[in-house]
């Protein structure tokens, strides 16, 4: 039997801000059975993750291409791999069988055929929605957890600032920090997001950076006693402002640079004099270095969710047609929480 | 008895690049005996340290003023405290007596009267020139040692880059790193300095940054396999170029920002994307946090000097008149090695 697979490709490398016209939907016909003797797996994709880091893979040159196995360059015209949840249609690998739910690296498409070495495991949903296994139980959650605790190294009572605080990672960072006993302020890009952070997610305070003319003064207002840990998702001017407001021995967990990915925003030029005299550490990190924390992270997170101590925000759209707009929207703050595209019913 | 004390003051706060005319020599008459019952100490200064960080104390506003007890603001017209070696003229403190050699915070002047709480200890020259106790055995040496080993955390065989490598700290960083088993390249601002690094101090390589039109390419040439540890004395464009050439898990020990102290140079805007994907750490530090290392540092350094494994470069001028030119010259690369002013014969 054969099925039609519609999937997303990029027409050419994109160096600046992405637009929907940089992408196209292609179709192919794929067989729903595997060749005897191969270890191929054919999957029907259910949910895929839409992440800003993909922008770096779409560029023709990026520091990311050679330094992270998750960020190798994407060849225009080819499928784009991404994290997601799928159901096995057919499997030449005895570890998986038809009907299994799986999670791992799939594609931005309706189906995928995985060959050779693939990163996939069987999924036990543990009673949670499948989308949680693309977001909070996957890289977004582990990034928030590892970045906050292993890189930011907060102490109870310390002051934590999170940028892009209503984003896939930021909204979890703030909640983990609150549970740990920190004072947490987040910034986001709309009144509604700010209200969500304060009213639904328990942030001590939050502000709309778009309403601020001077980010340095804004942070001074929200942190009159200074910032101890800054979880940086954005880079740019916010990073400069945070450095100016850091306390002595402050730590910056540099997770993402969304303000700089597309070359539109100004590059951060933090005051090195502050960094030296205040003994500030800026520490870039990738979640793939902290996979050993996964069991602790998962156990803590499942408990928090079951007791209602933390909540996860998801922003789910449907259908392969929505992948490109969902991705482009990430760079305009269109999403609230984890951006996910649902491709099929369970 | 009374003596005339000539000392340096700054006429007003200096916000940009300092010039000799920002300073003046003042005179006062001081008694060579102390009031009975006081713990004052009167010192005849022998050698004083001339350090770039004093520029931050001369500004009206600086991050340094509130974050480091060594960098409190200097009041125009008043004496300027600085590290140095002196001989006790009179002492109300029973721990010190007339004729003792001492080392600690004295002043940019011929004499000084220390009152209240002072930072001073008796000096055993250990057979070394007194000037060594202002340079290599003092903050310059400990900064090089602590910054390299505790902040840079090199492993044997790693590639170390040092900027301002012929300066008071840089020339020691490179030699410590060589002794430890690293590959070391330094940059400096003249052909003569470069020759000194390679021929006298045993750097594996060195280059004159003024001859390079593209620092990023220059570093690529000197570090085809990338930089593991960058000991940063300068900030600015060199920091950007270093970040671009750092290896995965690279560490930057941010010691000084001479390119930015005077507001003349461009502020570093390192590529945060490189910092994230290569998991680079930028770690600002102050030597005052590493005083616990002093015994280890001293013992290692004395051994290295006695066996001739390392050498120290000193740049000594004479007389209170030479203090302002010596200081101003630091910002134009006029010094080679540790800049010291000798104020009197031993």
Residues B123 and B238 occupy one common structural domain: no
Residues A21 and A127 occupy one common structural domain: yes
In a domain, B10, yes or no: yes
pLDDT score at A218: 98
Test B279 with A285 for CB contact under 8 angstroms: yes
* Other Cβ atoms within 10 Å of A332 Cβ, number: 9
pLDDT score at A119: 93
Q: How far is A220 from chain B (nearest CA, A)?
A: 14
Q: d(Cα B236, Cα A341) in Å, to the nearest integer?
A: 43
Per-residue tokens: B247? 């290896």
pLDDT score at B69: 72
The predicted-structure confidence for A158-212, as pLDDT tens digits, reads as follows 999 999 999 999 999 999 999 999 999 999 999 999 999 999 999 999 999 999 9
Task: Indicate if the pLDDT at residue A262 is higher than 80.
Answer: no
Residues B109 and B187 occupy one common structural domain: no
pLDDT score at B144: 98
Residues B118 and B198 occupy one common structural domain: no
Per-residue tokens: A181? 């006993």
CA A19, A21, A22, A26 dihedral sign is positive
Test A63 with B271 for CB contact under 8 angstroms: yes
Strand B246-254 with B227-232, pairing: parallel
CB < 8 Å to A278, chain B: 63, 67, 284
* Domain of residue B155, CATH code: 3.40.50.720
Name A162's Cβ contacts closer than 8 Å, sequence gap at least 6. Answer: A170, A173, A174, A177, A184, A185, A186, A187, A230, A231, A233
Q: pLDDT averaged over chain A?
A: 95
Q: CB of A245 within 8 A of CB of A219? A: yes
In a domain, B306, yes or no: no
Eight-class DSSP state of B172: H
In a domain, A302, yes or no: no
CB < 8 Å to A147, chain B: none
> Pick from B71, B271, B282: which is nearest to A277 by CB?
B71
Report the candidate in B132, B53, B51 with the shortest Cα–Cα distance to residue B85: B132
Test A248 with B282 for CB contact under 8 angstroms: no
Q: d(Cα A240, Cα A252) in Å, to the nearest integer?
A: 11
In a domain, A305, yes or no: no
Residues A277 and A318 occupy one common structural domain: no
A50 in contact with chain B, both atoms CB, cutoff 8 A:
no
Residues B185 and B224 occupy one common structural domain: yes
Report the candidate in A20, A77, A84, A78 with the shortest Cα–Cα distance to residue A51: A84
A140 in contact with chain B, both atoms CB, cutoff 8 A:
no
To test the contact with chain B by mutation, choose from A57, A62, A63, A271 the residue with the greatest count of B C-beta atoms within 10 A, namely: A63
Per-residue tokens: B71? 């960098």
Test A272 with B275 for CB contact under 8 angstroms: no
Residues B50 and B97 occupy one common structural domain: yes
The predicted-structure confidence for B168-227, as pLDDT tens digits, reads as follows 999 999 999 999 999 999 999 999 999 999 999 999 999 999 999 999 999 999 999 999
Q: d(Cα A188, Cα A206) in Å, to the nearest integer?
A: 8
User: From its phi and psi, is residue B99 left (phi > 0), alpha (psi between -120 and 50) or beta?
Assistant: left
Per the structure, the complete domain to which residue B221 belongs is given by: 139-288
Residues A98 and A205 occupy one common structural domain: no
Residue keyed to tokens 């010039």: B19
pLDDT score at A266: 77
Task: Tell me which chain B residue has its CA closest to the CA of residue A280.
Answer: B284
Count how many domains chain A has: 2
pLDDT score at B264: 65
For B327, how many CA atoms within 13 A lie in the half-sphere containing its CB? 30
* SS3 letters across chain A: CEEEEEEEEECCCCCCCCCHHHEEEEEEEEECCCCCCCCCEEEEEEEEECCCCHHHHHCCCCHHHHHCHHHCCCCCCCCCEEEEEEEEEEECCCCCCCCCEEEEEEECECEEEECCCCCEEECCCCCCCHHHHCCCCCHHHHHHHHHHHHHHCCCCCCEEEECCCCECCHHHHHHHHHHHCCEEEEEECCHHHHHHHHHHCCCCEEEEHHHCCCHHHHHHHHCCCCEEEEEECCCHHHHHHHHHHEEEEEEEEECCCHHHHCCCCCCCCCCHHHHHHCCCEEEECCHHHHHHHHHHHHHHHHHHHHHCCCCCCEEEEECHHHHHHHHHHHCCCCCCEEEEEECCCC
* Domain of residue B97, CATH code: 3.90.180.10
* Window B:149-178, CB contacts with A under 8 Å: none
Task: Indicate if the pLDDT at residue A258 is higher than 90.
Answer: no
The predicted-structure confidence for A60-119, as pLDDT tens digits, reads as follows 888 777 777 777 899 999 999 999 999 999 999 999 999 999 999 999 999 999 998 899
Task: Tell me which chain A residue has its CA closest to the CA of residue B247.
Answer: A67
pLDDT score at B154: 98
Q: CB of B162 within 8 A of CB of B170? A: yes
> Pick from B67, B260, B277: which is nearest to A278 by CB?
B67
Q: CB of A321 within 8 A of CB of A25? A: yes
Task: Indicate if the pLDDT at residue A264 is higher than 70.
Answer: no
Q: d(Cα A26, Cα A4) in Å, to the nearest integer?
A: 10
Q: CB of A230 within 8 A of CB of A172? A: no
Residues A80 and A175 occupy one common structural domain: no
Residues B84 and B150 occupy one common structural domain: no
Mean pLDDT computed over A216-228: 98
Q: What dihedral angle (degrees, nearest 10) is formed by the CA atoms of B76, B78, B80, B86?
A: 170
Stretch (H or E) spanning B87: strand B81-91
Q: What dihedral angle (degrees, nearest 10) is formed by the CA atoms of A83, A87, A90, A93?
A: 60
Mean pLDDT computed over A291-312: 97
Burial A279-293 (b: 16+ CB within 10 A, else e): bbbbbbbbbeebeeb
In a domain, A307, yes or no: no
In a domain, A296, yes or no: no
Residue keyed to tokens 């600086």: B62
Q: How far is B122 from chain A (nearest CA, A)?
A: 29
The predicted-structure confidence for A18-37, as pLDDT tens digits, reads as follows 999 999 999 999 999 999 89
pLDDT score at A336: 94
pLDDT tens series, chain B, 346 aa? 899 999 999 999 998 889 999 999 999 999 999 998 999 999 999 999 999 999 999 998 887 777 777 778 999 999 999 999 999 999 999 999 999 999 999 999 999 999 988 999 999 999 999 999 999 999 999 999 999 999 999 999 999 999 999 999 999 999 999 999 999 999 999 999 999 999 999 999 999 999 999 999 999 999 999 999 999 999 999 999 999 999 999 999 999 988 777 776 778 999 999 999 999 999 999 999 999 999 999 999 999 999 999 999 999 999 999 999 999 999 999 999 999 999 999 8
In a domain, A306, yes or no: no
Task: Indicate if the pLDDT at residue A337 is higher than 90.
Answer: yes
In a domain, B77, yes or no: yes
Residues B150 and B246 occupy one common structural domain: yes
Alpha carbon A266 to its chain centroid, in Å, reads 22
B285 in contact with chain A, both atoms CB, cutoff 8 A:
yes
Q: d(Cα A227, Cα A215) in Å, to the nearest integer?
A: 14
pLDDT score at B39: 93
Residues A172 and A268 occupy one common structural domain: yes
Q: CB of B67 within 8 A of CB of A248? A: yes
Q: CB of A35 within 8 A of CB of A92? A: yes
């Amino acid at each position: 039997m054969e099925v039609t697979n519609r999937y997303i490709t990029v027409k050419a490398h994109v160096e600046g801000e992405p637009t929907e016209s940089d992408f196209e939907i292609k179709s192919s016909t794929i067989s729903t059975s595997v060749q005897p003797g191969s270890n191929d797996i054919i999957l029907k994709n259910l949910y895929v993750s839409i992440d800003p880091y993909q922008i770096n893979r779409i560029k023709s040159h990026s520091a990311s291409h050679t330094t992270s196995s998750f960020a190798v360059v994407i060849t225009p015209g080819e499928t784009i791999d991404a994290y997601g949840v799928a159901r096995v249609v057919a499997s030449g690998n005895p570890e998986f069988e038809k009907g299994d739910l799986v999670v791992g690296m799939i594609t931005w498409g309706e189906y995928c055929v995985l060959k050779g070495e693939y990163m996939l495991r069987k999924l036990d949903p543990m009673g949670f929605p499948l989308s949680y296994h693309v977001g909070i139980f996957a890289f977004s959650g582990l990034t928030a957890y590892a970045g906050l605790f292993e890189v930011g190294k907060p102490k109870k009572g310390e002051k934590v600032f999170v940028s892009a605080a209503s984003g896939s990672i930021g909204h979890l960072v703030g909640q983990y920090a609150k549970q740990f006993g920190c004072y947490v302020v987040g910034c986001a890009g709309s009144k509604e997001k700010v209200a969500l952070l304060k009213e639904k997610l328990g942030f001590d305070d939050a502000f709309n950076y778009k309403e601020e003319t001077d980010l340095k003064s804004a942070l001074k207002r929200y942190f009159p006693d200074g910032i101890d840990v800054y979880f940086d998702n954005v880079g740019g001017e916010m990073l400069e402002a945070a450095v100016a407001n850091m306390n002595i021995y402050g730590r910056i967990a540099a997770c993402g640079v969304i303000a700089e990915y597309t070359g539109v925003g100004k590059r951060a030029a933090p005051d090195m004099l502050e960094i030296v005299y205040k003994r500030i550490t800026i520490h870039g990190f990738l979640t793939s270095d902290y996979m050993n924390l996964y069991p602790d992270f998962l156990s803590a997170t499942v408990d928090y969710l079951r007791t209602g101590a933390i909540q996860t925000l998801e922003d789910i759209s449907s259908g392969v047609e929505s992948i490109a707009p969902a991705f482009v929207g990430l760079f305009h703050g269109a999403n609230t929480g984890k951006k996910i595209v649902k491709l099929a019913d369970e």
